[in-house]
Amino acid sequence: MSATVITNAFATSSASPSVTPPSSAVPGPRTRLRITRRGRRVLGAVAALGVAGVVAASVLLGPGAVATGQAADVSFVQVTVEGGETLWQVASEIAPTKDPRDVVSDIVRLNNLPSAEVAAGQTLAVPEKYAH
């Protein structure tokens, strides 16, 4: 009677010492994954869409402005526009040391004006920080 010994998942018989492992257990050559030019473009597009989605989600779902019940403490003085005077001239008169562009912008915003055009006799609110 012959004995069969099993080691390393290969059966060897004491009667025949030259037993080779089955051909399915022999590892074949490893193949590399090759991506075509179109495949690289698709992968790039998928990655770009993923990044764009994360950016969009962070913008849309990010922290927003928090409204409080406190009103801003803005104090202002009233200025009446003279005939033929422009808003730039008003800004230069009330704040000669400041940049007139900033003063005009603040006056337009405070008075909710559609443009920088003013009419003679028009009363404007001017931030007190510019009043001399």
| Fold observed for domain 76-127 | Membrane-bound Lytic Murein Transglycosylase D; Chain A (3.10.350)
What is the four-CA torsion angle of 108, 111, 113, 119, rounded to 10 degrees?
Answer: -100
Confidence of residue 8 (pLDDT cuts 50, 70, 90): low
Mean pLDDT value of segment 60-77:
74
Q: What are the distances in angstroms from CA 129 to CA 19, 71, 74, 77, 89?
A: 99, 18, 10, 9, 17
What is the pLDDT averaged over residues 79-108? 89
Tokens representing residue 118 in the block: 């003013």
Domain ranges of the chain: 76-127
Model confidence at 4, pLDDT cuts 50, 70, 90, reads low
Tens digits of per-residue pLDDT, 18-49? 666 565 666 667 788 888 999 999 999 999 99
pLDDT, tens digit, 9 for 90 and up, residues 108-132: 988 888 888 888 899 998 888 876 6
For tokens 């003679």, what's the residue? 120
Name the pTM for this structure: 0.44
